[in-house]
Chain A
Amino acid sequence: LAKTTQPISMDSYEGQEVNITCSHNNIATNDYITWYQQFPSQGPRFIIQGYKTKVTNEVASLFIPADRKSSTLSLPRVSLSDTAVYYCLAPLGNAGNMLTFGGGTRLMVKP
């Protein structure tokens, strides 16, 4: 299981782009890079996943370099409601595998 490392916290202001980088040096061939978001007293919510290169959806973009040892979650033009904890995980690609959450990055968006 790949261990992930990400900053404990980040501050930003409304309207800014936020980039959260995660390192996963021992990522394996079958591991996928996945990001979840968690608001206080709520369950984690899937944001985006990727294997390599760039993935974009309506919420975020995920940049993965060729060596896959790190990834960057990019949140465009954040708002106050994006204040949450963001988790970077690298679970196996096949269904049914447990998720191992670290401490995540606590993003605080200020007005």
Chain B
Amino acid sequence: EPEVTQTPSHQVTQMGQEVILRCVPISNHLYFYWYRQILGQKVEFLVSFYNNEISEKSEIFDDQFSVERPDGSNFTLKIRSTKLEDSAMYFCASTAAQGLSSYNEQFFGPGTRLTVL
């Protein structure tokens, strides 16, 4: 069964450093997302990406965050200058676009645990 993969599984960084979290969505999917989950809290939407541009973003996704699809397979989330409060699990997800008349499930990756010291 195809799956979303993410690397690394765990990233430790110092406050103020840049981090890049990587995702490989399912190959024929066209919509890509990033979510985060701070320990013990809800899963929060960050950004969605379609046709090489951001289609929607939340208030969390400020100027410190950026996303990119540098080639045909990878989808990355960059945090320019990490803060302590960026420590969380970051989940990538993808969806196949199958028309507008039914729900298209999002497939989530296993997550990257980011720890900012």
Contact = CB atoms under 8 A, between A and B. Distances in A.
The yes or no verdict on A and B being binding partners is: yes
Interface of A: 32, 34, 38, 41-46, 49, 87, 91, 93-104
B117 to A, nearest CB: 20
B9 to A, nearest CB: 10
A34 B104 CA distance: 10
B103 A38 contact: no
Interface in B67-102: 89, 91, 93, 95-102
A5 to B, nearest CB: 14
Given A38-B43, A99-B45, A93 B111 contact: no
A103 B42 CA distance: 6
Interface of B: 4, 30-31, 33, 35, 42-45, 48, 50, 55-56, 58, 89, 91, 93, 95-111, 113
Nearest to A30: B100
A32 B91 CA distance: 22
Contacts of B111: 41-43
A32 B102 contact: yes
B91 A34 contact: no
Contacts of A95: 30-31, 95-100, 104
B80 to A, nearest CB: 22
A41 B30 CA distance: 26
Contacts of A46: 105-107
A94 B108 contact: no
A94 B43 contact: no
A30 to B, nearest CB: 9
B48 A44 contact: no
In the complex, the 5 A-B pairs of residues with the closest C-beta atoms, listed nearest first? A43-B108, A32-B103, A46-B105, A101-B43, A94-B100
